Structure 1
């Protein structure tokens, strides 16, 4: 097998995050489902943004996007990473590009010169740390198969796909192109289901991706897994996942995670935290730690511990990207990297 240029390459929505601490009254006023992710148009985005900060904290603005957050986390652990995602050549798009490159992530996707603005997600964080997302996808949805560089994909040990980007037809085609190239090169393909509402829309297609071998590894949380198999019984859903995919990883918040293969089930406990501030990015950073362990050849329990550590770091502050070096944090906690 040819040498790898990247340990993990992510493909997903390039989204600029605007986070604010608020109360449940704000969510009710805007008809939001607490803890969920809603897709919104530009007009609703402007209405939400205009109301943010009126009776809450000052918004925090930073580059985001689920797969991009994961890739930044993997880079923070010391791995070689790349990201493919679409921004527009506008002020926010240029800021996004600068941010992700500053995190030591290769980002060469050509920006769109026309069409919708760079995507933004308005994230409301309630006092219990729960995050409610309202996402204007904008230019992120303009990703096409032409943005997939075959040489970059083939040179990546793992290609990581974001379920949120399964909405537009061109992005689906881009995913399928990347998966085919990766498998032809003997690489692995991972998919995060992203959100229970996302699973509701594409349940059948996600199951087909798993059963057909388009993806080798699935990341999900409990709600996403139960939505996928339309059951409220966790063990039933887990048994089905074991049948459908080579490797599945299910996060369970404070209960830790469960790693499943056809051969067995491994449970890994969560990492202790001092205080829960913001759950935004918890799943993204868990995936970062797990994938890092995987490309380093670690056992599943060690991978799960790295994931738990990365998730614990990100939920103790506002924002979905690590504020500390995850590599140093892992070393301090006796987790070899």
Structure 2
């Protein structure tokens, strides 16, 4: 059977309210004047992966629990406007929502409404099996109830990836996702030395490729036991917000990975897409296209080659 979907995204559909603050942590005050204002828009981790994957030409489908509420309407409209199929399972608790405090340097603090999800929330098994059987790959967001769907995905055949975000290497909540995935992404933000954690994942779980993103320091790649540092890509404009950069990285990595490209090149795709995402204000949703990705990677590669030639000439002088 030929797969109908390249990337099935499970979980992570929701709405963010963006609040720009003068600094993080927010200074205590009775009131603060906020500019450029407060904006509510659809788009959480799963939404961003789906949008980024679709922009790169991957056939994408998103599955999650979504409420019959204003936030749910925003999520459905986002997918409809971008032509991304969404299977929205009714969620009586309401659509996931969060408040993102964004500092002037683009850093953010996300406050998630924990009342809109529970461990007992189900994704219908038959729906998961049917979509998984039609998909080449499943990217699983670490929101409930996605952990319970992992055995169904594994039995249905697609390869699996997940993003552990700022995992500290200890929190047991992340382990079902980390150990079931063939490809694991995480942020190095909470790790002094990411390599031991990355190696532990390959030793204890299914993954043979683990990527730890490190912002301006690039990314650390462990593929088939070989560690590689991939430098950060130069952003194509001013950095205004880091929201969605990790999701863009993951989608671009998957774009290369599903094409059978070497892991290091996949990571370079990721750094380019992540850098692009940092130039997009958090009040908008915008993803790098396939043509832009290849053009930007070619440009950066040529720049590095020129710099190496100049350095060799200086060294030989």
Shorter-chain TM-score: which interval? Answer: 0.7 to 0.9
8 Å Cα contact 1:63-1:100 kept in structure 2: no
TM-score (norm 2): 0.82
**1:38-187 → structure 2 map (5 Å cutoff):** 54-112=33-91, 115-139=92-116, 141=118, 143-146=121-124, 148-163=127-142, 165=143, 168=144, 170-181=145-156, 185=157, 187=158
Aligned CA-pair RMSD? 2.8
CA positional deviation for 1:14 = 1.6
The aligned length equals 294
Structure 1 residue corresponding to 2:224, chosen from 259, 262, 283: 262
1:250 corresponds to 2:212: yes
Distance 1:201 1:9, change over 3 A: same
Distance 1:83 1:29, change over 3 A: farther
What do residues 123-144 of structure 1 show as CA deviations (whole Å, max 9, x unaligned)? 1111121011011155455751
Classify the secondary structure of the residue corresponding to 2:105. Answer: coil
Unmatched 5+ residue regions in structure 1? 31-50, 227-231
**1:208-223 → structure 2 map (5 Å cutoff):** 210-211=178-179, 214-223=180-189
Distance across 2 between alignment mates of 1:200 and 1:22: 31
CA positional deviation for 1:119 = 1.9
CA positional deviation for 1:325 = 4.4
The aligned residue for residue 306 of structure 2 is none
The aligned residue for residue 275 of structure 1 is 238
Distance 1:71 1:324, change over 3 A: closer
* Higher radius of gyration, 1 or 2: 2
What do residues 297-333 of structure 1 show as CA deviations (whole Å, max 9, x unaligned)? 2211221121111111111121287525422311422
Structure 2 residue corresponding to 1:316, chosen from 271, 279, 285: 279
The aligned residue for residue 293 of structure 1 is 256
What do residues 51-81 of structure 1 show as CA deviations (whole Å, max 9, x unaligned)? 9984443122221121221111010111100
Distance 1:66 1:209, change over 3 A: closer
Distance 1:132 1:120, change over 3 A: same
1:8 corresponds to 2:7: yes
Higher helix share: 1
1:195 corresponds to 2:166: yes
TM-score (norm 1): 0.78
Which range is displaced more, 62-71 or 170-179? Answer: 170-179
Distance across 2 between alignment mates of 1:258 and 1:101: 35
Distance across 1 between alignment mates of 2:97 and 2:35: 19
